[in-house]
Structure 1
Amino acid sequence: GRHHDQPRRLEDDYKVRMSHVLGVGVNGSVVSGWSRHTGAKVAVKFLDLASAWSAERKARLSELETFLSVDHPHIGRLVDVYETPSGLALVMEYLDGGELFDRLHSRGRFSEQDAARALRQVLLAVRHLHRRGIVHRDLKLENFLYDCGSGDLKLIDFGFARPWSGEEPMRGQCGTLCYMAPEVLDSEDGYDFKCDLWSAGVIAYALLAGELPFDGTSEKQVAKRIRSASYSLAGERWAGISQAGHDFVQSLLQLDAAARPSAADALRHPWLAGQ
Structure 2
Amino acid sequence: MLDSLIVDIHLEQSEDVRGKIGKEPFEKQYQLGSLLGSGGFGSVFAGQRISDGLQVAIKQISSDRVQQWARLPDEPNRVPMEIALLLRLGGGPSSAKTHSGVIQMLDWFELPGRGFLIIFERPQPCQDLFDFITERGSLEENIAQRFLRQIVQALQFCDSRGIVHRDIKDENVLVDTRTGNVKIIDFGSGALYKDSDYSDFEGTRVYSPPEWILHQNYHAVPLTVWSLGVLLFDMVCGDIPFESDRDIVQAKPSFTKRISKECQSLILWCLAYRPEDRPSLEEILLHPWMETCDDIGDVSVEKNITQSL
TM-score range, shorter chain: 0.7 to 0.9
Which residue matches 2:171? 142
Structure 1 pair 109/41, CA: closer, same or farther in 2 (3 Å)? same
Deviation at 1:147, TM superposition (A): 2.4
Alpha-carbon distance in 1 for matches of 2:154, 2:268: 21
Q: Is the 8 A contact 1:63 1:163 kept in 2?
A: no
Deviations 1:221-246 (A, max 9, x none): x011101213223x6x23xx222111
Deviation at 1:25, TM superposition (A): 4.6
Q: Is the 8 A contact 1:144 1:153 kept in 2?
A: yes
Asked if 1:69 corresponds to 2:88, the answer is yes
Asked if 1:89 corresponds to 2:107, the answer is no
Q: Is the 8 A contact 1:25 1:157 kept in 2?
A: no
Match of residue 269, structure 2, among 244, 251, 269: 251
Which residue matches 1:271? 289
Deviation at 1:157, TM superposition (A): 0.8
Alpha-carbon distance in 2 for matches of 1:25, 1:157: 12
Alpha-carbon distance in 1 for matches of 2:64, 2:54: 30
Which residue matches 1:22? 36
- In the TM superposition, 1:71-220 aligns within 5 A as 71-85=98-112, 86-95=114-123, 96-148=125-177, 150-166=179-195, 168-215=196-243
Q: How many percent of aligned residue pairs carry the same amino acid? A: 29
Q: Is the 8 A contact 1:172 1:184 kept in 2?
A: no
Which residue matches 1:9? 25
- Which residue type is aligned with residue 268 of structure 1? L
Deviation at 1:41, TM superposition (A): 0.7
Alpha-carbon distance in 2 for matches of 1:185, 1:77: 32
Q: Is the 8 A contact 1:172 1:187 kept in 2?
A: no
Alpha-carbon distance in 2 for matches of 1:211, 1:263: 23
TM-score, normalised with respect to structure 1? 0.86
Alpha-carbon distance in 1 for matches of 2:288, 2:160: 22
- In the TM superposition, 1:223-234 aligns within 5 A as 223-233=245-255
- Gaps (5+ residues) in structure 2? 1-14, 72-77, 90-97, 294-309
Alpha-carbon distance in 1 for matches of 2:132, 2:81: 35
- Which residue type is aligned with residue 24 of structure 1? S
Deviation at 1:137, TM superposition (A): 0.9
- Which residue type is aligned with residue 76 of structure 1? I
- Gaps (5+ residues) in structure 1? 216-221
Deviation at 1:5, TM superposition (A): 5.2
Q: Is the 8 A contact 1:21 1:31 kept in 2?
A: yes
SS of corresponding position for 2:127: coil
Deviations 1:196-227 (A, max 9, x none): 11111111111111221112xxxxxx011101
TM-score, normalised with respect to structure 2? 0.77
Structure 1 pair 243/190, CA: closer, same or farther in 2 (3 Å)? closer
Deviation at 1:51, TM superposition (A): 8.1
Alpha-carbon distance in 2 for matches of 1:206, 1:258: 23
SS of corresponding position for 2:138: coil
Deviations 1:166-188 (A, max 9, x none): 2x321123211221122233454
Alpha-carbon distance in 2 for matches of 1:145, 1:184: 26
Alpha-carbon distance in 2 for matches of 1:257, 1:158: 23
- Which residue type is aligned with residue 85 of structure 2? T
Structure 1 pair 143/213, CA: closer, same or farther in 2 (3 Å)? same
Which residue matches 2:302? none
Alpha-carbon distance in 1 for matches of 2:278, 2:266: 10
Alpha-carbon distance in 2 for matches of 1:128, 1:2: 20
Alpha-carbon distance in 1 for matches of 2:217, 2:87: 31
